[in-house]
Amino acid sequence: MSACIVGWAHTPFGKLDGETLESLIVRVASDALAHAGIAAQDVDEIFVGHFNAGFSQQDFTASLVLQASDAFRFKPATRVENACATGSAAVHQAIHAVQSKRARTVLVVGVEQMTATPGAEVGRNLLKASYLPEDANTPAGFAGVFGRIADQYFQRHGDQSDALASIAAKNHANGVANPYAQMRRDLGFEFCRQESEKNPHVAGPLKRTDCSLVSDGAAALVIASDDLAARMPRAVAFRAAVHVQDFLPLSKRDIIRFEGCARAWNRALMQAGLWLSDLSFVETHDCFTIAELIEYEAMGLVAEGQGAVAVLEGWTHKDGKLPVNPSGGLKAKGHPIGATGVSMHALAAMQLCGEAGDMQVRNPQFAGIFNMGGAAVANYVSILERTA
């Protein structure tokens, strides 16, 4: 493919007091350009990933990027939205712009500010990523949707509480090394496994440690054509970029199979000319631990119903045969909706360039990324390779 990541920026995720949507956007836009060594006037197009759904009174956020530099004035800027996969949707639009030769250098910004919103309203906003005619009255909101998925998985494949706790513990342990992570604490398996006052049940078999965090944050990428990237200090190429959209109503599909995710992974690996075993690590969408468990099966790491094997036998640990979420994932890092997919690409690029600090996996060659919107509705897979 002809598009490469040549620079990035990333704020810490969490409750960012004193920040606004505008300040977050301006900060990462400026920092990503500086990291890439690109001037604002050299950017051909801008894409902003911002879910919103009620989190911010300021809508129409695409033009806020222009606050970073007067040189952005009159350049095309578009906001992109696809639920929790909003960030990857913006990234993939940038790839299309480069592949079509409409642009040679594109700036992508992902952003969300969630923590200023009252808890009950956060739940209502997130539930908008489900099919409201069926799910509007789901107890516990979007967590309730995934609680139902976990219930169905347990009914078909047995109690997976140990596996879910292991995923949570793994990701929290990894998150300790991530300077951008909202929660940098190794909680341990026992804390994640046991219900307690600090770890109560939230929905179905899911406890608090099974649920990703409400977050503020932003990330940005500079994506350039391969001829420009060849002259840059760093270049991470897209070997594949695939988007598969599935039905929104859960009633129209077997929800514990994540068929859209499986199809996206299959197409991406074919496009890249690789096997899953060729990947050095994966950043996957662990909005809830049950999602990561099912994603092991959908990506083809294990057979259907065998997701627990991958984590309980250590395959997906940082030193395992396919490290999954060496960043700590959404579980530890946080999940500011519009920023998540951009963050995943930035963190994967850091790894491939050997710039991931204490998060670094050993000698990575290829990275896989899976970012989803809704309950496996919008499914985006990218496969990255360092070329410079």
Identify whether 355 is part of a domain.
no
Summarize pLDDT for 172-224 with one digit per residue, the tens: 999 999 999 999 999 999 999 999 999 999 999 999 999 999 999 999 999 99
Residue 20 pLDDT > 80, yes or no? yes
Interior/surface letters 172-181, b for 16+ CB within 10 angstroms, e for the rest: bbbbbbbebb
* Per-residue confidence band for 290, with pLDDT thresholds at 50, 70 and 90: very high
In a domain, 385, yes or no: no
User: How many structural domains comprise the chain?
Assistant: 1
First to last CA, the chain: 15
Residue 74 maps to a domain: yes
Cα 102-92-274 angle, rounded to 5 deg: 115
Which tens digits make up the pLDDT trace of 57-100? 999 999 999 999 999 999 999 999 999 999 999 999 999 999 99
What is the CATH classification number for the domain harbouring 108? 3.40.47.10
Q: Give 253-294 as a DSSP string.
A: S-GGG-HHHHHHHHHHHHHHT--GGG-SEEEE--SBHHHHHH
Q: Would you say residue 171 has pLDDT above 80? A: yes
C-alpha span between 53 and 343 (Å, rounded): 20
Instruction: Give a yes or no: residue 66 inside a domain.
Output: yes
The domain of 53 spans 3-117+214-229
pLDDT for residue 127: 95
* pTM score over 0.95: yes
pLDDT of residue 348: 98
pLDDT of residue 291: 98
Q: How confident is the model at residue 1 (pLDDT cuts 50, 70, 90)?
A: low
Annotate 14-60 with DSSP letters as a single string: B--TT--HHHHHHHHHHHHHHHHT--GGG--EEEEE---TTS-S---
What pLDDT sits at residue 298? Answer: 98
Is 322 within a domain? no
Q: Of all residues in the chain, what percent carry a pLDDT higher than 90?
A: 99
pLDDT in tens, 112-160: 999 999 999 999 999 999 999 999 999 999 999 999 999 999 999 999 9
Mean pLDDT of all residues in 22-27:
98
pLDDT (mean) for 220-249? 97
Q: What is the pLDDT of residue 136?
A: 94
Q: What percent of the chain has pLDDT over 70?
A: 99
8: nearest Cα among 181, 218, 174:
218
In a domain, 264, yes or no: no
pLDDT at 212: 98
Residue 126 lies in a domain: no
Q: To the nearest whole number, what is the mean pLDDT of the chain?
A: 97
Instruction: Give yes or no for residue 22 having a pLDDT over 80.
Output: yes
73 falls within a domain: yes
What length does the chain have?
A: 388
Taking Cα atoms as reference points, which of 315, 278, 319 lies closest to residue 296? Answer: 315
311: amino acid identity, one letter: V
